[in-house]
């Protein structure tokens, strides 16, 4: 059945099978491997212990992001500043040593291109359509926005890929997530991502690779697609794909690690063959009407706990499923919320604009548009953390840093920052944060921290009003 229509996932999979095993699993060739400081140290130790080399250092790229403080990295004289936390310093030193010893490309903490691994990959043109891409990090799903089959792996798999450039994998089921129509005023890719997770549930995508299709996705920038693919894992899916198109090619052309000259033309010709064939069959299909998506946010401690900003804190008793009722009760207690409270009546103490979900230039522009000419409300600490040094430089070239700083936001160095409590940027216990990141789990932003996931524009709206706010009341539709 050579001519049977195939999905994008099936095509990429078929092009990477090295060996099919009797139990149905396949040895899959891995084209790209991203490495960060948290999940790689034991993998390198394993290689050393077994006297192994990295098989394809040229297909491996390392960058520190999770542990790195986002305060100034050099003193006034330009000398590098030491990292205060000994554990972070040790992990960063280990990455520096490991990449040097094994001959791996390394964007170090002081390099202009340093940033969050999932911002850096696409930005450098390291992430390419039709490739298999892995990283010891769950949000590797982001890279699927460019049509790469990209997923997170554990540390032992990191070692396996370093040593062999392959992985033993079982096939996933496919789910089409179709979003059609025009997004309303004030509604962004983040709201689409939250709408999808709200609909699927945090486990709805388990066992599937999602493919995002439909006119809304087609019309979306790569930045927006990255936001959506990034959160695939929050719906339980291992990966999320967007078929490559002209938007993808325009984004990648000329990037430092993208193919050049005749190689580029050849690559684009291949990439054009990748989109799912008409009539290709998915194991499941979900459709969403873009016009029905409002600016959304989370109320609880799972990314599926989604409500429109015009809504209220739900009553746990309103959930049919007893497990969900119980979870909702616990969530409300943790979040310090009472059922029936209007979301817009909830005050915030912190605002975090950053993370691999929402720290690219378009995200910062959207937040700056709201911040422009306003001021962060009294008692609110607001951080803007660009996803990479290149995003930061671009934002500064556009004057966005001035807008943020004069509005009272802190303008930081790139890194994971307040997305997770692995570096000095933490939300104190009991404090509430409007955050553009992707996880609102218990303790995610610090022990006892309360997180509401929002879009960049909504985060800026919360910062300047001091409460969860409808961004549509703060910007004009022009």
Ligand X SMILES: CC(C)[C@H](C(=O)O)[C@@H](O)C(=O)O
Binding-site residue set for [4Fe-4S] cluster: 356, 416, 419
Segment contacting ligand X (CB under 6 A): 133-141, 245-253, 343-351, 464-472?
Answer: 133-141
Q: What backbone phi and psi angles, to 5 degrees, belong to 29?
A: -75, 135
Taking the complex as a whole, the smallest distance from the CB of residue 313 to ligand SF4 amounts, in Å, to: 25
Strand-pairing partners, residue 127, are none
Q: Which of 38, 193, 229, 252 binds ligand X (CB under 6 A)?
A: 38
The closest of 307, 305, 309 to 327, measured between CA atoms, is: 305
Segment contacting ligand X (CB under 6 A): 134-142, 235-243, 289-297, 362-370?
Answer: 134-142
Contact indicator for 151, 59 with CB cutoff of 8 Å? no
Q: Which does 437 bind (CB under 5 to 8 A by kind): ligand SF4, ligand X, none?
A: ligand SF4
95 belongs to the binding site for ligand X (CB under 6 A): no
229 belongs to the binding site for ligand SF4 (CB under 6 A): no
Q: Which does 217 bind (CB under 5 to 8 A by kind): ligand X, ligand SF4, none?
A: none
Segment contacting ligand SF4 (CB under 6 A): 42-50, 158-166, 279-287, 412-420?
Answer: 412-420
Measured CA to CA, the distance from residue 432 to residue 410 in angstroms comes to 17
Contact indicator for 172, 268 with CB cutoff of 8 Å? no
Q: SS3 of 362, please?
A: helix
Minimum CB distance to ligand SF4 smaller for 138 or for 381: 138
Strand-pairing partners, residue 433, are 350, 451
Q: Which of 66, 360, 450, 472 binds ligand SF4 (CB under 6 A)?
A: 66
Measured CA to CA, the distance from residue 89 to residue 83 in angstroms comes to 6
Q: Which does 116 bind (CB under 5 to 8 A by kind): ligand X, ligand SF4, none?
A: ligand SF4
Taking the complex as a whole, the smallest distance from the CB of residue 247 to ligand SF4 amounts, in Å, to: 23
Q: SS3 of 467, please?
A: strand
124 belongs to the binding site for ligand SF4 (CB under 6 A): no
Q: Which does 152 bind (CB under 5 to 8 A by kind): ligand SF4, ligand X, none?
A: ligand X
Taking the complex as a whole, the smallest distance from the CB of residue 65 to ligand X amounts, in Å, to: 8
Helices (H), 71-205: 86-102, 117-124, 155-164, 189-200
Residue nearest to ligand X (CB): 138
Q: Which of 133, 420, 449, 464 binds ligand SF4 (CB under 6 A)?
A: 420
Q: Which phi-psi region, left, alpha or beta, contains residue 28 (left: φ > 0; alpha: ψ -120 to 50)?
A: beta
Minimum CB distance to ligand SF4 smaller for 64 or for 147: 64
Measured CA to CA, the distance from residue 246 to residue 351 in angstroms comes to 35
Q: Which does 38 bind (CB under 5 to 8 A by kind): ligand SF4, ligand X, none?
A: ligand X
Minimum CB distance to ligand SF4 smaller for 233 or for 464: 233
420 belongs to the binding site for ligand X (CB under 6 A): yes
CB count in 10 Å sphere of residue 310:
12
The closest of 217, 222, 194, 187 to 475, measured between CA atoms, is: 187
Measure the CA angle with vertex 116, ends 110 and 122; round to 5°.
110
Helices (H) and strands (E) in the chain, counts: 15, 19
Minimum CB distance to ligand SF4 smaller for 308 or for 456: 456
Measured CA to CA, the distance from residue 471 to residue 57 in angstroms comes to 46
- Cβ contacts of 116 within 8 Å, gap of 6 or more: 65, 355, 356, 359, 387, 388, 414, 415, 416
Segment contacting ligand X (CB under 6 A): 131-139, 318-326, 384-392, 465-473?
Answer: 131-139
Minimum CB distance to ligand SF4 smaller for 172 or for 451: 451
The closest of 453, 197, 451 to 304, measured between CA atoms, is: 197
92 belongs to the binding site for ligand SF4 (CB under 6 A): no
Taking the complex as a whole, the smallest distance from the CB of residue 174 to ligand X amounts, in Å, to: 23
Taking the complex as a whole, the smallest distance from the CB of residue 152 to ligand X amounts, in Å, to: 5
Minimum CB distance to ligand SF4 smaller for 237 or for 416: 416
239 belongs to the binding site for ligand SF4 (CB under 6 A): no
116 belongs to the binding site for ligand SF4 (CB under 6 A): yes
Q: Which of 66, 238, 432, 452 binds ligand X (CB under 6 A)?
A: 66
Measured CA to CA, the distance from residue 460 to residue 322 in angstroms comes to 36
β-strands 239-241, 450-453 pairing: unpaired
Q: CA 177: distance to chain centroid?
A: 18
Q: DSSP class of residue 226? A: H
248 belongs to the binding site for ligand X (CB under 6 A): no
Segment contacting ligand SF4 (CB under 6 A): 171-179, 220-228, 376-384, 414-422?
Answer: 414-422
Taking the complex as a whole, the smallest distance from the CB of residue 366 to ligand SF4 amounts, in Å, to: 18
The closest of 11, 143, 41 to 102, measured between CA atoms, is: 41
Using CB under 6 A as the criterion, which residues of the chain lie in contact with ligand X when the complex forms? 38-39, 66, 137-139, 152, 420
Using CB under 6 A as the criterion, which residues of the chain lie in contact with ligand SF4 when the complex forms? 65-66, 116, 118, 137, 139, 355-356, 416, 419-420, 437-438
């Amino acid at each position: 059945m050579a001519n049977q229509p195939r999905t994008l996932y099936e095509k990429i999979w078929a092009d990477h099978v090295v060996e099919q095993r009797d139990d149905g699993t396949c040895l899959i060739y891995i084209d790209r491997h991203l490495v960060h400081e948290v999940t790689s140290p034991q993998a390198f130790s394993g290689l050393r212990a077994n006297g192994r080399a990295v098989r394809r250092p040229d297909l491996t790229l390392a960058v520190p992001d999770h542990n790195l403080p986002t305060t100034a990295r050099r003193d006034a004289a330009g000398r590098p500043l030491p990292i205060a936390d000994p554990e972070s310093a040790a992990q960063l030193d280990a990455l520096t040593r490991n990449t040097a010893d094994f001959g791996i490309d390394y964007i170090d903490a002081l390099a202009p291109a340093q940033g969050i691994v999932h911002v850096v990959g696409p930005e450098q043109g390291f992430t390419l359509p039709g490739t298999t891409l892995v990283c010891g990090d769950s949000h590797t799903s982001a890279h699927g926005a460019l049509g790469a089959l990209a997923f997170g792996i554990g540390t032992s798999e990191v070692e396996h890929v370093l040593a062999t450039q392959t992985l033993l994998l079982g096939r996933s089921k496919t789910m089409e997530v179709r979003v059609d129509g025009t997004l309303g005023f004030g509604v962004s890719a983040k709201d689409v991502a939250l709408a999808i997770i709200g609909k699927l549930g945090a486990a709805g995508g388990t066992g599937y690779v999602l493919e995002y299709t439909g006119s809304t996705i087609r019309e979306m920038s790569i930045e927006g697609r990255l936001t959506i693919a990034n959160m695939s894992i929050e719906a339980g899916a291992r990966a999320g794909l967007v078929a490559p198109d002209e938007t993808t090619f325009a984004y990648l052309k000329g990037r430092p690690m993208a193919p050049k000259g005749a190689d580029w033309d050849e690559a684009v010709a291949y990439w054009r063959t990748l989109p799912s064939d008409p009539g290709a069959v998915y194991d499941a299909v979900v459709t969403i009407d873009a016009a029905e998506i409002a600016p959304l946010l989370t109320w609880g401690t799972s990314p599926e706990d989604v409500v429109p900003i015009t809504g209220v804190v739900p009553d746990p008793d309103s959930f049919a499923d007893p497990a969900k009722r119980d979870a909702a009760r616990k969530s409300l207690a943790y979040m310090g919320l009472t059922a029936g409270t209007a979301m817009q009546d909830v005050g915030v103490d912190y605002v975090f604009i950053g993370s691999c979900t929402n720290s690219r230039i378009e995200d910062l522009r959207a937040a700056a548009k709201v911040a422009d000419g306003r001021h962060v409300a009294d008692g609110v600490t607001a951080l803007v953390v660009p996803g990479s040094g290149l995003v930061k430089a671009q934002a500064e070239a556009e004057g966005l840093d001035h807008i943020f700083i004069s509005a009272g936001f802190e303008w930081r160095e790139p890194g994971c920052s307040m997305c997770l409590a692995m570096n000095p940027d933490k939300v104190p216990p009991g404090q509430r944060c409007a955050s553009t990141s992707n996880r609102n789990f218990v303790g995610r932003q610090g022990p006892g921290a309360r997180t509401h996931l929002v879009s960049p524009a909504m985060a800026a709206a919360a910062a300047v009003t001091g409460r969860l706010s409808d961004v549509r009341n703060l910007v004009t539709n022009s």
